[in-house]
Structure 1
Amino acid sequence: MLKKQDMSKRNQIGFYSLEDLVPQEHLLRDIDKYVDFSFIYQLVEDKYDQSNGRPSLDPVMLIKLPLIQYLYGIKSMRQTIKEVEVNMAYRWFLGLDIQDSVPHFSTFGKNYSRRFKGTDIFEQIFYGILAQCIEAHLVDTSEIFIDGTHIKAHANNKKYESKEITEDTLFYVKSLQKEVEIDREKQLKKPLKRKEKSEINTKVKKISKNDADSGWFHKGEHKQVFAYTTQVACDKNGWVLGYTTHPGNQHDSRTFISIYNKLKSHFTLNKLVMDAGYKTPGIAHLLFQDNLTPIFPYKRPMTKKGFFKKYDYVYDEYYDQYICPNMKTLTYTTTNRDGYREYKSNPHDCMTCSLINKCTQSKDKRKQVQRHLWEDDMERCEDIRHSIGMKSIYNNRKQTIERLFGTAKEFHRLRYTNLIGKEKMHMKIGLTFACLNIKKLAKILKLRDLEGSIFLSIFNYLPKLIIGYKKDNPITLNE
């Protein structure tokens, strides 16, 4: 039978409690019950004038506004306020009554520029939430997964200017220079001349006119955009342990040191699991110096197709030379500024060699192989990779760090941003990953309570069950 909805119910008047309008199974109820936001008052206390002025908006409610935005993947703060106006669960979570006026959408932005800009308040909020996860004994830092992902910036790809920019020095440059000097001295080579200011590495890069803090990111031939990159670390259970924010044109091997220093200051490290982008001599040397176990995958040699790979040239440690596939030797010539020892073949051997077309295309018919001063650390990484159980640990990246990125981009709007500037971007990334930890913490603690209540109910019911069984079936001494 066809039924038509009675639209006159819209005008009915009733008495309702806001508590009754929010479903008992709502996620925000679980978050409100199991996550403590009171630590925020202490963090922002010095940002408010305690003696003068009218009463401010509750700081916890102010922080909960962007948390709702990133938790539910709402496009902007303006849209978030519109959602709060009509969503009873959002009002309940913020502590607003049905008749209370909702803050203007510019309120958070003004508080950010006046109170929070230039501070690490949002990073402290992230670590305050993480501390509650640690207190619940949910975090396991025996295996830490590190990876980076790109986030499209709020910038027009066609509005840019090209500028010559000095590249930042790598974190291991000073220690590498010392080892280069020591090695050249051992080989009776003259010390290298120091670079003049005019010789410092510079590159011409695209600078966005909309967002100068972003970087020109290109992946393949098709994907070329202005973007940010974030380095993220998580444990084996998928809890986010730290994050950093950088322009999109910086490589993972350059940005690694910032996330690594943060992890060292907060946790005791053991195993670090990273992809091939981090597999460099500098990173491997640093981790072994700190007595850590790096777990890297196989990295394909960057060699032209049809030519011998570097592993086809065998290093003879005793004589400090390489042996080519035709059993000829490549002897040491020098140690360059980048920390590579150079080994070169005898041109007379190469000119008569039948394998030269697979070996080199140099005009002087001479093959050169380079070996880094920290190549032993790279070989040690390979030994770890072939150890029992390391492959299965590396494969857990799919369930941990990669799943985090997928969830954050698909459900929490981290695929792109409408914020401009590295500082605001850092805030968004921190609150988004705080939301992931919050959501997970509330769900797990709720399950703990449910399991405990079920266990207690069974435990209380068990004596009655046993007594009833004894009455119906008397137990003999033999039993």
Structure 2
Amino acid sequence: MLNQHKQLSFYTELYNKIPENHTLRLINNFVDFGFINEFLESSYCRYYGLPAKEPELMIKLLLLQHLYNLSDERVMEEASLNLAYMYFLGINPEDTLPHPSLLSKFRRHRLLDFTLDEVLIEVVKQCVDHGIIKDTTGISVDTTHTQANTFRATPERVMKRLAKKLFCHLKEEIGEVPDNVDVTIPNYKEIENHREAKETMKTYLEETLDKVEETVEIEKNPKTKGTIVLAREILKDPKFLESKGVRSIVDREARVGHKSKTKDFFGYKTEYMMTTDLIITAVNVGDGAYVDGKKFEELLELTKKSGLTIDELYGDKAYFRKNILDSINACEAKVYIPVSEMAYKIDEEKFSYNKDSDEWFCAQGNNTVRKYHKKTKNRESYRYYFEKEMCRDCPLRDSCITGKAVGKILEVGVNTPEFYEYSQQQKTEEFKKNYKKRASQEGKNGEMKQYHGLDRAKRYGLKSMAIQAKLTALAVNLKRIATILSSKKAGNPSILLFNFSMWIKFGGQIKTTMKIS
């Protein structure tokens, strides 16, 4: 442990004023955050430089920030005045806190994406070990969107801003814009045809970049060079002019995504898994164009690292895909995901399937007698052939068979026979009843956005958004743990079991642990 904070001051008696059921007291008495120092120990030097602030303290400050949706400055201010905050941080009331700027440096230089995954896993493990959640449980998966911390610009405006940024850096580094460079940026708003406006701005920016490179020694002017490299990279992307690439030079990793067929947004997507007890087990963040389920296997593995055995898995139609269903089946878990019309297009009023005999039956009682595996460059399917003589005399022949074919040919995707079984399961009362458990996911989305700031990115870039989303997940987990403990304690006054063997480990500070019976 790098530095060890000890609440040994005379003033710690003030902590007795904090109610026993206060959220931060319950969390601090239940969750052991000591593992954080071990996770981050290798990123600090023990022997050189000024002593670093303890990683556990820094992450606790960040958790307070996301629990109460505070800025860097405000969380430091509150932590200097609020007894419950001080108790949670493990400091004495008279201790000084680091400057708010240190939080920003800690996020950028010390707090890695995978570190927060490990912290999340460890907290969930402690929940399992202490009986907060069962080790065998149901898991739900979903995504929620977050608006970028900047506005969405058109490609024309992005190119205009790149040109202005280039001129600004030229004046800063060499004192002027070269005479051969045209500083009069075209007024794209006067061009009615949007495609023509884009091409006009693209041509102007490319010519400007060429002239600057011909005139200026860009290797000696790093800011000018950086802007040129950035502009070239953006223009090179074929998605850019189609408004599917970069839409802001402030946040170049944010993308346009779709909440529905008619509504879109500009920003990022957070995908997470959560137990039916409302404890988040794994988080992944992608840009706004992220396809739901793309990182499903990674989320599943992170969830299993928490010591959980998954017996049920819930998701919406976006997760009805062969690879996802196979991953769930490999866990021997029950699948509660509605059939997607994009993956399964059989009209079940006309056709039914028997998996044992691998036959399809039509509504008139005819059955398939053979099948053919059809494989082309872009598609793989099965063609099932119905018995010709029954088709020949069928009263529905004219509406069922087109062309010169004698018998009905049913062509289906290679996964359709397997998907048929899922479609039949979803008609059962068991499926309809259990699928209602997934509704809690929407409530968790709303909680993270409304009360913990996940509705809008606080900073720029995918890494920063991932840190924000995972800290938010940790914050709502801690709040949920406190709620469970509070309700359990109300029903069982002897819930607290003191473990004095922790006394030595924490350097003389008694650490209270809880076990849920």
Deviations along 1:122-146, whole A, 9 cap, x unmatched? 2211112111101112223332211
Residue 156 (1) aligns with residue 151 (2): yes
- Return the offset for 1:446: 4.4
User: Equivalent residue for 1:31?
Assistant: 27
User: Equivalent residue for 2:348?
Assistant: 311
User: Equivalent residue for 1:274?
Assistant: 315
- Separation in 1 of the partners of 2:410 and 2:145? 35
Q: Which amino acid aligns with 2:247?
A: S
Contact 1:245 1:425 in 2 (8 A): yes
Which one of 97, 109, 115 corresponds to residue 102 of structure 1? 97
- Return the offset for 1:414: 1.4
Deviations along 1:188-221, whole A, 9 cap, x unmatched? xxxxxxxxxxxxxx97632233323333112346
* Count of equivalent residues: 389
- Separation in 1 of the partners of 2:21 and 2:373? 72
User: Equivalent residue for 1:434?
Assistant: 474
Which one of 303, 316, 322 corresponds to residue 263 of structure 1? 303
User: Equivalent residue for 1:473?
Assistant: none
User: Equivalent residue for 1:84?
Assistant: 79
- Separation in 2 of the partners of 1:274 and 1:265? 20
- Separation in 1 of the partners of 2:343 and 2:44? 56
Residue 407 (1) aligns with residue 447 (2): yes
Question: SS at 2:53's partner residue?
Answer: coil
Q: What value does the CA root-mean-square deviation take over the aligned residues?
A: 4.1
Which one of 233, 239, 247 corresponds to residue 208 of structure 1? 247
- Separation in 2 of the partners of 1:326 and 1:376? 18
- Return the offset for 1:311: 3.0
Question: SS at 1:142's partner residue?
Answer: strand
Contact 1:322 1:331 in 2 (8 A): no
Deviations along 1:345-382, whole A, 9 cap, x unmatched? 99xx9xx98648xx99x9xxxx9964121222211212
Contact 1:321 1:331 in 2 (8 A): no
Residue 376 (1) aligns with residue 417 (2): yes
Which one of 424, 432, 452 corresponds to residue 391 of structure 1? 432
Deviations along 1:63-94, whole A, 9 cap, x unmatched? 111101111122x2233223334434323433
Contact 1:316 1:322 in 2 (8 A): yes
Matches within 5 A, 1:64-213: 64-74=60-70, 76-117=71-112, 120-140=114-134, 141-158=136-153, 205-209=244-248, 210-213=250-253
Q: Which amino acid aligns with 2:77?
A: K
Question: SS at 1:151's partner residue?
Answer: strand
Q: Which amino acid aligns with 2:47?
A: S
User: Equivalent residue for 2:167?
Assistant: none
User: Equivalent residue for 1:223?
Assistant: 263
User: Equivalent residue for 2:38?
Assistant: 42
User: Equivalent residue for 1:466?
Assistant: none
- Separation in 2 of the partners of 1:91 and 1:138? 25
Contact 1:282 1:374 in 2 (8 A): no
- Separation in 2 of the partners of 1:455 and 1:230? 36
Matched residues, percent identical?
23
- Separation in 2 of the partners of 1:391 and 1:238? 20
- Separation in 2 of the partners of 1:265 and 1:452? 31
Structure 2 residue ranges without an equivalent (≥5): 1-10, 160-197, 199-237, 497-517
Contact 1:71 1:432 in 2 (8 A): yes
Using structure 1 for the length normalisation, give the TM-score.
0.68
- Separation in 2 of the partners of 1:455 and 1:256? 37
- Return the offset for 1:250: 2.0
- Separation in 2 of the partners of 1:328 and 1:59? 68
User: Equivalent residue for 1:172?
Assistant: none
Q: Which amino acid aligns with 2:38?
A: Q
Cα 1:325/1:423, change in 2 over 3 Å: farther
Cα 1:137/1:19, change in 2 over 3 Å: closer
- Separation in 2 of the partners of 1:421 and 1:442? 32
- Separation in 1 of the partners of 2:479 and 2:36? 18
- Return the offset for 1:278: 1.0
Contact 1:301 1:310 in 2 (8 A): no
- Separation in 1 of the partners of 2:114 and 2:479? 22
Structure 1 residue ranges without an equivalent (≥5): 1-14, 164-201, 457-479
314-323 or 413-422, larger mean C-alpha shift:
314-323
- Separation in 2 of the partners of 1:285 and 1:254? 14
Q: Which amino acid aligns with 2:78?
A: E
- Separation in 2 of the partners of 1:443 and 1:333? 56
